[in-house]
């Protein structure tokens, strides 16, 4: 059983002992701490949830706690993470809580905390919420000061319309192209909102795992090893594109018309290439993302910048460098013209517009970008693992190598002229992520395994 408190929110497995898992008592504690922290202007908080099995229970505890703190709750029901982010802004709420563990397996859930802009709390604000939670010095509302719950199911439609209204989304071009797509929405809220978007875009579609049951048909992380079902379906030749989202619809992966992966790293690259062809500017991704975004950005005359892993770190850097597009190599597209949050709907609409205007196959579009391969490995942590000592050891190993540039703003990343490797403790799981990139998968995996051996030798 696990409870993780990080920049990505309060995340844990359901059930078990208090303090060790995401259970009702801990949900009350962290929700109360958030309600204590958030500046109260309208006295309204938005709550949305993905389709997880535990979502109803967590929603009830969260909403009841907020009402007990004197907040009015705008319950938008089943909702994607970007829908909830937009609902905060559209409703003028003081903040929002998204009940989702994103790509984690079915036994997990989480509280993602938003400010009044519908953006994730900064690291400093998140730390303050955690400090309040640890003190447990709470002050609940008296009976006449209790809040109320209002249900509003309109935000899926409002989210879709906001995507259609983006200047770089060409609805008519997409309709004219007559795309046929296959979608894997992994038994969560993508099965509700994506049909609405695709209908408006005039796209024909077939859904796999479209029922919102929360009982995921496969591991919900949109990686190739988990997507054999849709890859096999694409090989039937009936579709132009395969679309895969995670349970809260902020990550996006594409499958080529021939059943091969487009590459989740290239979701952002392809969308950025289109945006930069229409809007000059800079880009940002995190340290664990492909160099291809840098190459595409420089091709269009812009400047690329890297941020620490974590959506709020990326959005902070994007604002700092005035980026016109950014995101994360895990398939997360952040387009400020819409909002500062990863949004698969925005990514889908921009990608389809680009594909329609270029008039090419998805495989041909993929082949137009610089070729890199990323090996994504992981090391499971034990309670005895000293992650800091491991990272110091790795940093020392390469400090004297003139061909290596070492970056330690988030774990340790070692950049070589033709490849890189990045080790960091996950914000969302009890693991060390080991990402490495090179011209071939063999080279990338070899570099990653070399660093993993150092870690194993220290355990």
Segment 349-381, tens digit of pLDDT: 999 999 999 999 999 999 999 999 999 898 888
User: Helix 387-398 vs helix 441-458: angle between axes, to the nearest 10 degrees?
Assistant: 120
Question: Do residues 52 and 214 lie in contact, with contact meaning Cβ atoms separated by under 8 Å?
Answer: yes
pLDDT at 4: 80
> CA-to-CA distance for 114 and 134, rounded, in angstroms?
20
Q: Which of helix, strand or coil describes residue 30?
A: helix
Q: What would the two tokens of residue 366 be?
A: 């993929």
378 close to 432: Cβ distance less than 8 angstroms: yes
Contact assessment for residue 244 and residue 187, using Cβ atoms and an 8 Å cutoff: no
**Cβ–Cβ < 8 Å for 264, 330:** yes
- Residues 434 and 377 sit within 8 Å (Cβ to Cβ): yes
Cα–Cα distance for residue pair 450/13, rounded to 1 Å:
32
* pLDDT at position 224 over 70: yes
Q: List Cβ<8 Å contacts ≥24 apart for 449-452.
A: 449/377, 450/421, 451/394, 451/421, 451/423, 452/377, 452/379
Q: For residues 119-146, give the mean pLDDT.
A: 94
Answer whether residue 385 shows pLDDT above 80.
no
| Beta bridge partners of residue 29, listed in sequence order | none
Residue-wise pLDDT tens digits, 139-186: 999 999 999 999 999 999 999 999 999 999 999 999 999 999 999 999
What is the tens place of the pLDDT at every residue in 390-415? Answer: 888 888 888 888 888 998 899 999 99
Q: Are the beta carbons of 396 and 410 closer than 8 angstroms?
A: no
Q: pTM of this prediction?
A: 0.93
Closest CA to 87 of 163, 153, 150, 155: 155
User: Cα 149 to chain center, whole Å?
Assistant: 28
Distance of CA 154 to the CA centre of its chain: 23
| Residues with catalytic roles | 102
Helix (H, G, I), strand (E, B) or coil at 110: strand
Q: Which residues contact residue 199 at a Cβ distance below 8 angstroms, ignoring those fewer than 6 apart?
A: none
CA-to-CA separations, 325 to 180, 226, 304, 332, in angstroms, rounded: 27, 28, 10, 11
- Note the pLDDT of residue 459: 64
What pLDDT does 427 receive? 73
Q: How far apart are CA 94 and CA 118, in angstroms?
A: 9
Q: What is the pLDDT of residues 239-297, one digit of tens each?
A: 999 999 999 999 999 999 999 999 999 999 999 999 999 999 999 999 999 999 999 99
Residue of 330, 334, 354, 362 whose CA lies nearest to 346: 334
């Amino acid at each position: 059983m696990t409870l993780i408190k990080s920049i990505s929110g309060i995340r844990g497995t359901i059930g078990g002992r208090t303090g060790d898992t995401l259970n009702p008592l801990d949900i009350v504690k962290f929700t109360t701490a958030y309600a204590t922290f958030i500046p109260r202007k309208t006295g309204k908080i938005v709550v949305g949830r993905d389709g997880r099995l535990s979502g109803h229970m967590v929603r009830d505890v969260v909403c009841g706690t907020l009402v007990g703190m004197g907040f009015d709750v705008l319950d938008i029901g089943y909702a994607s993470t970007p829908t909830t982010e937009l609902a905060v802004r559209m409703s003028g709420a003081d903040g929002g809580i998204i009940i989702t563990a994103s790509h984690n397996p079915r036994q997990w859930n989480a509280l993602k905390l938003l400010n009044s802009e519908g953006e994730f709390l900064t690291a400093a604000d998140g730390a303050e919420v955690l400090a309040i939670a640890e003190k447990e010095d709470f002050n609940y509302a008296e009976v006449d000061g209790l809040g109320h719950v209002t249900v509003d199911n309109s935000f899926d439609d409002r989210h879709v319309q906001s995507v259609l209204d983006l200047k770089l989304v060409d609805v008519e071009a997409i309709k004219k192209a007559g795309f046929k797509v296959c979608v894997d929405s992994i038994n969560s809220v993508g099965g509700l909102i994506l049909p609405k978007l695709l209908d408006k875009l005039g796209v024909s579609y077939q859904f796999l795992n479209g029922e919102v049951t929360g009982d995921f048909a496969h591991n919900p992380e949109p990686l190739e090893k988990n997507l054999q079902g849709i890859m096999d379906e694409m090989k039937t030749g009936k579709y132009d594109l395969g679309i895969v989202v995670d349970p809260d619809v902020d990550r996006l992966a594409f499958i080529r018309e021939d059943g091969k992966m487009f590459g989740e790293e290239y979701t952002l690259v392809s969308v950025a290439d289109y945006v930069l062809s229409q809007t000059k500017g800079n880009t940002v991704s995190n340290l664990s993302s492909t160099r291809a975004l840098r190459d595409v950005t420089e091709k269009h005359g812009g400047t690329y910048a890297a941020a620490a892993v974590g959506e709020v770190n990326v959005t902070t850097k994007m604002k700092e460098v005035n980026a016109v597009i950014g995101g994360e190599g895990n398939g997360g597209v952040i387009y400020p013209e819409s909002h500062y949050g990863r949004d698969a709907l925005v990514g889908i609409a921009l990608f389809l517009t680009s594909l329609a205007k270029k008039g090419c196959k998805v495989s041909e579009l993929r082949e137009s970008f610089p070729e890199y391969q990323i090996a994504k490995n992981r090391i499971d942590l034990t309670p005895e693992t000293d992650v800091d000592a491991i990272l110091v050891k790795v940093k020392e190993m390469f400090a004297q190598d003139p061909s290596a540039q070492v970056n330690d703003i988030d774990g340790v990343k070692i950049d070589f002229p033709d490849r890189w490797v990045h080790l960091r403790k996950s914000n969302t799981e009890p693991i060390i992520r080991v990402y490495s990139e090179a011209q071939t998968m063999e080279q990338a995996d070899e570099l990653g395994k070399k660093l993993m051996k150092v870690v194993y030798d220290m355990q």
